[in-house]
Every structure is written in structure tokens, then in C-alpha cells.
Amino acid sequence: MKRYVLDSFAIIAFFEDEPGADLVEQVLRELLSGEARAWMSVINWGEVYYSTVREQGTDAAEKVLLQLDSYPIEIVGADNELTKEAAVLKGTHRIAYADCFAAALARKKKAMLLTGDPEFEMLEKEAKILWLTAN
């Protein structure tokens, strides 16, 4: 079974119909058909929310979360183990701390990290990345 961790970049690309949205849609279809499993860090889930609030307001952000809830994506809390793994990545790479949670979760779940965020290029040796667009 395919295994994915979804970064906020991928979810935002899907909801805003940005480049790579078609690949995210394909992954979401795989989830709905039971061909794949997916996880998302609560930290990255929060990024989706605050980014939508900033761009479109709270009502739109609430709608995005409701739509996101319709997909079988497990939102994973930031426990001590995951937070420590993210902190190690942050301590050894110049990358946003929230992105480190996505990478740490992908490593923990032995899953492909779905993103288009170029910051992840420096983590390609740390996690398997499925890029939304050709890099």
C-alpha cells in the first residue's frame, strides 16, 4: 500500500488549484479508494489554516478544514518523539521548523512526502519526496 505524508504546500496547492494540484488530487483519490494511507502533522495542518486565514479569511479557512476532513488523512499530534526528530532536522538543516515536522513524520511512517516546497531539496537524503512539479 502506498504511504504519503502531506505537507501544507501540497494541500494549499490543491485547494487553490495551483501547479501540482492534479497530483494531489490523484493522491486523494488513492486515499478514498483505499489504495493508499496518508498522514499530516498537526503543525502542517495549522499552516494550512493560518495561510488560508491570512489570504481569504477565517470563514474560508473553516471551509478548507471541513473539506480536508472529508479525506482519510490522519492528523498526527506533535508528541515528544516527533518533536525531537523535527528538532534534530532543524538543528542540522536551514529549513523552516514546521517543514521539519513533515519530514520527520515521513521518516517515521516510511512514507513519501508530498510537497512542492523547494526548501525540502536539502532534505532529500533525509526523506523520500514526491514533488508536485519537476524540480
**134 pLDDT higher than 70:** no
Domain span at 44: 15-131
As a whole number, mean pLDDT of residues 108-133 equals 93
pLDDT level of residue 28 (50, 70, 90 thresholds): very high
**What does the alpha-carbon distance between residue 84 and residue 82 come to, in Å, rounded to a whole number?**
5
Q: Residue 92 domain-assigned?
A: yes
3-class secondary-structure state, position 4? strand
CATH number at residue 25: 3.40.50.1010
As a whole number, mean pLDDT of residues 54-62 equals 97
**What does the alpha-carbon distance between residue 58 and residue 54 come to, in Å, rounded to a whole number?**
8
Answer yes or no: are the C-beta atoms of 103 and 117 closer than 8 Å.
no
As a whole number, mean pLDDT of residues 5-16 equals 97
Q: Residue 8 domain-assigned?
A: no
Answer yes or no: are the C-beta atoms of 97 and 83 closer than 8 Å.
no
As a whole number, mean pLDDT of residues 38-61 equals 97
Q: Residue 121 domain-assigned?
A: yes
